Amino acid sequence: MTQISEIRCPHCSTWTMWQGHIDDRCINCGEFLETRRFSREVEKRINKQLKAEYDYFSIKPGDTPFRRLFKFSFNTVRWSMYYVQLVIFTFVTILIFVISLLAG
């Protein structure tokens, strides 16, 4: 069911058509009419994806010891990779900061 109503755009304050969809845009300025609801929806979708990805290698009660070990090692490697990336990023940031201090 599509219900069309008129609402005032939160960005440019002109009256615009609103169909109740989260991705409805203002006909005047083209901005999303429900920015907060839209970003919340995107956030929800991303969280769901993350959770699904995490659950993929989650250890289940019915798993064999070998399977458990495999999943545990895989998850450890994955998290290690994440931290290694974080350390490299931090290191590069500090390096750039030091270089800019030396140059200035």
Interface contacts to Zn ion, rule CB under 5 A: 9, 11-12, 26, 28-29
Q: Which is nearer to Zn ion, 28 or 90 (CB)?
A: 28
Least distance from Zn ion to the Cβ atom of residue 14, Å = 6
Return the closest-CA partner of residue 28 out of 38, 37, 17, 36.
17
Q: Which is nearer to Zn ion, 10 or 50 (CB)?
A: 10
The DSSP H or E segment spanning 26 is none
Q: Which is nearer to Zn ion, 35 or 73 (CB)?
A: 35
Contact 51, 44 (CB under 8 A): no
Return the closest-CA partner of residue 18 out of 102, 26, 10.
26
Q: Which is nearer to Zn ion, 28 or 47 (CB)?
A: 28
Least distance from Zn ion to the Cβ atom of residue 41, Å = 20
Least distance from Zn ion to the Cβ atom of residue 27, Å = 8
Least distance from Zn ion to the Cβ atom of residue 76, Å = 50
Handedness of CA 15, 16, 22, 23 (dihedral sign): negative
Residue 24 to residue 5: CA distance in whole angstroms: 12
